[in-house]
Amino acid sequence: MKQSQLLRLGILGTVVAAVCCFTPLLVVLLASIGLSAWAGYLDIVLLPALVFFMSVVVYALLKNNKLKESEHDKSNHS
């Protein structure tokens, strides 16, 4: 997976998980299809997903930074 794709995936996942965690959007959607009893278990899934996607963003940024540094070092040695 390319670095830009990894970063986009991490940012998109973080935004979706944050929106679902901090707004009643997912609760309303579950209630509309008759699954509001599952709303109590959302934090068990959403909070780890939020942490995971934030970790993906940090990983992609760090890897991107290392690639830029190595390209910069190669251009200085040439």
What's the rounded Cα separation, in Å, for the pair 63 and 5? 13
* Band of pLDDT at residue 78, cut at 50, 70 and 90: low
pLDDT of residue 69 exceeding 90, the answer is: no
Mean pLDDT of all residues belonging to the chain:
85
Domain ranges of the chain: 3-77
Q: How many CB atoms lie within 10 A of CB 22?
A: 10
Q: Which residues contact 23 (CB under 8 A, 6 or more apart)?
A: none
pLDDT tens digits for range 8-22: 999 999 998 888 877
- Spatial contact of 59 and 5, defined as CB atoms under 8 Å apart: no
Question: What global pTM score does this model have?
Answer: 0.73
Residue 13 pLDDT:
92
- Spatial contact of 52 and 8, defined as CB atoms under 8 Å apart: no
What's the rounded Cα separation, in Å, for the pair 28 and 40? 13
